Amino acid sequence: MDFEETPLPGIGIRREITIAAGRRVGVIIHRDGRSELMISRQGDLDATLASVPLTVEEAAALGGLLGGAQLVAQLTAEHRDMPGVNTEQFLIDVASPFSGRTLGDTRLRTLTGASVVAVVRAGDVIPSPRPDFVLQPSDLLIVVGTTAGLSAAAEILRPS
Amino acid sequence: MNSTTLSLIELGVVFLGLGILGHLASRVGLPPVPLYLLGGLGLGYSGILEFSGGTDFGEIASEIGVVLLLLMLGLEYTATELVTGLRRSWLAGVVDIVLNAAPGAVVALMLGWGPVGALVMAGVTYISSSGIIAKVLGDLGRLGNRETPVILSILVIEDLAMAVYLPVLVAVLAGASLLGGLQSVGIALLVLAIILVAALRFGHVVSRAIASPDRESFLLKLIGAALLVAGAASAMQVSAAVGAFLLGIAISGATARDAVRVLEPLRDVFAAIFFFVFGLTTDPRTIPPVLGVALLLAVVTAATKVATGWWAAGRQDIGMAGRARAGTALIARGEFSIVIAGLAVASGSVDQGLAALATTYVLLLAVTGPVAARVAEPVFLAMRSRFRAPVGAP
């Protein structure tokens, strides 16, 4: 992976990686703290396909989403030796019945046997959250359990 | 109605008019500077507005506009950016100077404006508008492009070149004879060297003295320091504008970042007045005689900027389309060409046609620059596919 940092005089700084598929993906960090997600165009690598302005909170949330996927991949790899144990991530969105309530309110462990091993919030990973942990919209729950336990957890966390 | 009432009404009308013009400009994706100039020219021509109450206010406001424009130019890049830019792209900077200053100088000499006129016009055609270009790059979403750092580092070098050029220009404009000119150039360069060394060594002291957690007192301290330094520089024959520019370079770090934020709206107000007054004091009847020359100069120096960007981007292994984008992005001239022409006209030591030529020239390139940057890519791709089509056809 090719990591590159380019100063943009008068504007800020650009940090990017060149991914295996050949594209450049990165962020432009403006001097005033705003950031932009940037993806290079297919065909003309010098040019930008999209440049999406993000607020500080949005950038942190996006970082959390990407970091969450990485955490899940890591946990899955660790649980490979234990057949039947899986890891899944659940997003608490604004419409979620548990947004603003505590983790204990979900009664996830009691009802399903699955447990929340971490919460990814605004780019930070909070390991082993306690039952009094208050959930917020855009929190990402990393849940470990059996296949049956995880599908039961999905029923609770994503009621349709 | 007393004169204060009349002045208020006049100023209100002027600001409102400029605001509407600026709004129109942003609606069609153009920078506001050419419309401010046109507004001034138009009012001057129609004779509706004598700007009577404005003579005092207009004069001082446009002077403050220049001070703020150059203070912000000095603030735009950090010391590190200036040093890195110089080290990395000095060659592109030299190519930029040679290609773009020469046409202005040659035209001035051909018009019989002498070496002083040549020095002024060289500056007018050399300096790209960093304001317009940064805006266009942001608007077109090109900050992620690989050629963008190339464009920005050329602007950094131009910024540095101004630090040397402006004091020399002011000294030459002030000195009547060649010998006197040389002497004042010497003095100006000495003062510049002292201030630059002081800025680099004691910049943090200046920044700390001006910094303030409170936005209001910070703004007042900034304005106070800028006007004081500008006035002192003016008293030492270095020109108010140059003093403000050097103060801008001396302020660094977080203070500079905050300064840009609080000064921006104020700069916009006073700079608008400056462009308007410049248009107002330019006699529109002097434009038709120089129109042909201005057009020729615009075409030639647009081509030389494209060549500069094309070459500089090529050195960074950037593809053809990227080179076309880099070249066309650099075309726009604007605020600083007018500032240079304004300094020259105010000194009274250049031909009157110069104001008209500079105005027309900036009007042409401030409008075509952003348009060229926008259409460069589709036009380039269309041209390339047309050339390639017969080759690829079975």
Is the CB of residue B132 less than 8 Å away from at least one CB of chain A? no
- What pLDDT is attached to residue B160? 82
Is A39 an interface residue toward B (CB < 8 Å)?
yes
Count of domains forming chain B = 1
B77 vs A10, A26, A50: nearest CB: A10
Q: What is the CATH number of the domain that holds B24?
A: 1.20.1530.20
Weakest mean pLDDT among B106-110, B330-334, B342-346 = B342-346
Residue B56 lies in a domain: no
**A17 touching B (Cβ < 8 Å):** no
Quote the pLDDT of residue B199.
Answer: 67
Query: Is residue B329 a part of any domain in this protein?
Result: yes
Whether the predicted pLDDT of B245 surpasses 90:
no
- Asked if the structure places residue B177 within a domain, the reply is yes
- pLDDT of B181: 64
The percent of residues above 90 in pLDDT, for chain B, comes to 36
Q: Decide if A9 and B152 are in contact by the 8 Å CB cutoff.
A: yes
Q: Least CB-CB distance to B152: which of A10, A26, A31?
A: A10
Residue closest to A133 by CA, chosen among A98, A97, A102, A106: A102
Quick: pLDDT tens for B265-321: 999 999 999 999 888 888 888 888 999 999 999 999 999 999 999 999 999 889 889
pLDDT in tens, B16-50: 999 999 999 888 888 888 899 888 888 876 665 55
Name chain B contacts of A44, Cβ cutoff 8 Å: 319, 321-322
User: Which residue among B81, B145, B261 places its CB closest to the CB of A7?
Assistant: B81
Chain A (44-83) residues lying within 8 Å, Cβ to Cβ, of chain B: 44-48, 50-51
The amino acid that residue B2 corresponds to is: N
Q: Yes or no: say if A69 and A89 are a contact pair by the CB < 8 Å rule.
A: yes
- Sort out which chain A residues have CB atoms less than 8 A from B141's CB and list them: 48, 50-51
Provide the mean pLDDT of chain B: 85
Q: Count residue pairs from A and B with Cβ separation < 8 A.
A: 78
Provide the residue-wise pLDDT of chain A in tens; the chain has 160 residues.
778 888 888 888 899 998 888 889 999 988 877 889 999 988 788 888 888 888 887 887 788 778 777 777 777 777 777 777 888 888 888 788 888 899 988 888 888 989 898 888 877 788 889 999 999 888 888 898 888 888 888 888 877 6
Q: Measured between alpha carbons, how far is B217 from A110 in angstroms, rounded to an integer?
A: 59
Whether B140 shows a pLDDT value over 50: the answer reads yes
- Nearest C-alpha of chain B: how many angstroms from A54? 14
For residue B391, being part of any structural domain is answered with: no
Judged by CB atoms closer than 8 Å, whether chains meet at A24 and B144 is answered as: yes
Q: What is the pLDDT of residues B72-119, one digit of tens each?
A: 988 888 777 777 788 888 899 999 999 999 999 999 999 999 888 999
CATH 3.30.70.1450 in chain A, residue ranges? 59-157
pLDDT at position B267:
92
**The pLDDT of residue B179:** 66
Is the CB of residue B145 less than 8 Å away from at least one CB of chain A?
yes
- Among chain A residues, the shortest Cα distance to B76 is held by A10
SS3 B312: helix
Residue B319's alpha-carbon distances to B48, B56, B124, B187, B315, in angstroms, are 53, 53, 30, 46, 10
Question: Does the distance separating the beta carbons of B77 and A36 come in below 8 Å?
Answer: no
CB pair distance less than 8 Å for B144 and A16: yes
Could you tell me if residue B53 is inside a domain? no
Question: A60 or B328: which carries more pLDDT confidence?
Answer: B328
Q: Which domain holds residue B148?
A: 13-48+70-385
Residue B390 within any structural domain of the chain: no
B44-63 pLDDT, tens digit per residue, is 766 655 554 445 777 888 88
Cα(B212)–Cα(B236) distance, rounded to whole angstroms? 29
Tell me if B392 is assigned to some domain: no
In this predicted complex, what is the ipTM?
Answer: 0.76
The DSSP secondary structure of A21-58, one letter per residue, reads TS-EEEEEEETTS-EEEEEEPSS-TTSEEEEEEE-HHH
- Cα distances from B251 to residues B73, B74, B207, B208, B243, in angstroms, run 12, 8, 5, 9, 13
If you search the block for the tokens 């013009």, which residue do you land on? B21
Contact A6, B152 (CB under 8 A): no
Q: What is the CA radius of gyration of chain A?
A: 19
Q: Inform me whether the C-beta atom of residue B130 falls under 8 Å from chain A C-beta atoms.
A: yes
Partners of residue A32 in chain B, C-beta under 8 Å: 257, 261
Q: B137 and B154 in contact (C-beta within 8 Å)?
A: no
Best B130, B137, B148 residue to mutate vs chain A (most A CBs within 10 Å):
B148
pLDDT of the residue at B177:
57
CB contact B315 to A (< 8 Å): no
Query: What is the nearest CA distance from A9 to chain B, expressed in angstroms?
Result: 6
Alpha carbon distance B117, B68 (integer Å):
25
Q: What is the DSSP string of B326-362?
A: HHHHT----HHHHHHHHHHHHHT-S-THHHHHHHHHH
B313 to chain A: nearest residue by CA?
A46
> Which of A46, A49, A52, A54 would you mutate first to test chain B, the one with the most B CBs within 10 A?
A46
- Cα gap B388→B311, rounded to integer Å: 23
**pLDDT for res B293:** 94
Closest C-alpha to B37, from B320, B274, B312: B274
Domain range A59-157, CATH class = alpha beta
Q: Which two tokens stand for residue B12?
A: 């209100």
Residue B62 lies in a domain: no
pTM (predicted TM-score): 0.79
Residues 6+ away with beta carbon under 8 Å from B194: none
Q: Is the model's pLDDT at B220 over the cut of 80?
A: yes
Confidence of residue B351 (pLDDT cuts 50, 70, 90): confident
pLDDT at A60: 79
Q: Which residue of A has its CA nearest to B73?
A: A10
A136 neighbors A121 (Cβ within 8 angstroms): yes
Cβ of B84 under 8 Å from any chain A Cβ?
yes
pLDDT value, residue B46: 66
Q: What is the distance in angstroms between the Cα of A26 and the nearest Cα belonging to chain B?
A: 8
Rounded Cα distance between B394 and B379, Å, is: 25
